Amino acid sequence: MSPPPILVFGATGSIGRRLVDLLRERGHAVRALARNPDRADLPEGVEVVRGDVLTGQGVEDALAGVRCAYYLVHSMGRGSGSADEFADRDRQAAELVGSAAAAAGVQRLVYLGGLEAEGADSEHLRSRREVAEILAGHVPGTVHARAAMVIGADSASFQMLEALVRRLPAMICPRWVDTRTQPIAMDDVVTALADLADHPDPPGEVQLGGAEVITYLEMMERMAKALDRRPPVVVRVPVLSPRLSSYWVTLITPVELGLVQPLVDGLSAEMVVTTPPPEGINAHPMGFDDAVAAALA
């Protein structure tokens, strides 16, 4: 008998597409759930099931015979609605997928969330953490992979950073410019996720970060160097709400306001690995400069 397929929820996203490609390269049979299979544009050989995690359409069929699945879905930041509405949608989808996965006998469910310090006051990050808890409540083999800012060409966080440095010779910033973070290259995130499919016994939480811990201000300075531009002059102000920050970031960058707001909301929280991942997972991550060079290329 052929091995069971690996199911990817969110296969058409920036990380999901790359993960599907890598799993296929490694010889895995891959299945994907897509609301519109005709527009999914997934590689040949990937089995695509029509469905929607919010309505439940196709979820049971997609999970049939699956032992390992990836949940790379989150609704916050896109379209209209408040943060509470986005969180409600994510909660609803997680409950539906989690219960269906348990009924189907899924043994490992890998979820990609955010890497934040304990007590971080961010609705976006709290929602990500809640989704992980819901999934783990249904599937004991859930692995919560938590990543810091992802450095990739189509990562919204990276697009924000690049546009700010390209377009602003000076900027007024709140204290979050001095927040420490551990940005990670897109390829390193995708490789770590793929490795979790074959890991014999991963822990319930896997923290993923790059080779360096740096501040957002240092990232802007080093991004400027990569772009062969003069670093922006930064004027710190003691108070600048996330909402106001989001408005000016939206004016300067190509990222839509609905996605900028939850990202900016999380900038005050440190995203630093405190527990190293298990042996063989993200063992040799790229440094920031190499990750930026790969993204710009």
pLDDT digits (tens, 9 = 90+) for 140-187: 999 999 998 899 998 888 888 888 888 888 777 777 788 899 999 999
User: For position 165, what pLDDT does the model report?
Assistant: 86
| Residue 105: inside a domain | yes
| Residue 291: inside a domain | yes
| Residue 253: inside a domain | no
Query: Which residues form the domain of 160?
Result: 6-213+268-296
Q: How many CB atoms lie within 10 A of CB 284?
A: 7
| Residue 238: inside a domain | no
| Residue 261: inside a domain | no
Q: What is the rounded CA–CA span in Å between residue 189 and residue 284? A: 12
| Residue 1: inside a domain | no
| Residue 130: inside a domain | yes
Counting residues of the chain whose pLDDT is more than 70, the rounded percentage is: 84
pLDDT digits (tens, 9 = 90+) for 46-101: 999 999 999 999 999 999 999 999 999 987 555 545 667 888 999 999 999 999 99
User: For position 133, what pLDDT does the model report?
Assistant: 96
Q: How many CA atoms lie within 13 A of 223 on its CB side?
A: 25
| Residue 127: inside a domain | yes
Q: What is the rounded CA–CA span in Å between residue 288 and residue 197? A: 26
Total domains in the fold of the chain: 1
Q: Are 184 and 148 in contact (CB under 8 A)?
A: yes
Helix (H) or strand (E) holding 198: helix 186-198
- Note if the pTM is more than 0.85: yes
User: For position 258, what pLDDT does the model report?
Assistant: 61
* DSSP code at position 39: G
For residue 274, the domain's CATH number is 3.40.50.720
